[in-house]
Amino acid sequence: MKKTLMITTIALLVLSALFSSCGEGEDVKVIGSTVSQSGSTTPDKTSYSSGGFVFEFNGASVEMDALADPLIKQMGDNYEYFESASCAFDGKDKSYIYPHFELLTYPSKDGDRVQAIYLKDDLVTTKEGLYIGSPLADMQRLYGEGTRSGNEYTFEKGGMELKIQVTDDKVSYITYASMVLGTVTGQ
């Protein structure tokens, strides 16, 4: 519980710094927090496929750079929402903070697209079954060696990165990231 709270706090501080540093004087805007237990609507799935790593949640298969709106509707409305002027694109960067992961988007001419997903605890896994707290050996069995920098491993596939940090031979964070703007650092 302490570790999850610490990771969430760090993530919010990082998001706050990112959003407040590039909004041309605009502050981060907290739009709202919603919690629903009634279930969500299930729109048609997007046909987008990058061939990269996929995060699955509540029936949605989320890939980096896919249109975000239909995926967010499918994942449900149990999230907190933040937005800020984008540093790199025309429009707003948005953050959807679900209880066990965060989903960030960037604006594009045809709608918001998925930029990154940060897993926050061991209650969600990658499609392949890796979770925070998994042994290093499980990561290596599922993904191989990847590119290593210190205690962070990076795996590239389909124009995206899967970044996994290992501390004391256990997975300590997992990040899916678009490479639209180049490499994205983990939390």
Q: Over the stretch 127-151, which tens digit does the pLDDT of each residue have?
A: 999 999 999 999 999 999 999 999 9
pLDDT at 186: 44
Contacts of 157-165 with CB under 8 Å at 24 or more apart are 157/51, 157/52, 157/53, 158/50, 158/51, 158/52, 158/53, 158/63, 158/64, 159/50, 159/51, 159/52, 159/64, 159/65, 160/50, 160/52, 160/53, 160/63, 160/64, 160/65, 162/53, 162/126, 164/130, 164/139
Measured distance CA(165)–CA(174) in Å, rounded: 7
- 140 vs 2, more confident: 140
* pLDDT at position 1 over 80: no
Res 181: pLDDT: 66
pLDDT tens for each residue of 52-109: 899 999 999 999 999 999 999 999 999 999 999 988 888 899 999 999 999 999 999 9
Where exactly are the structural domains of the chain?
2-129
State the pLDDT confidence band at 11, using cuts at 50, 70 and 90: very low
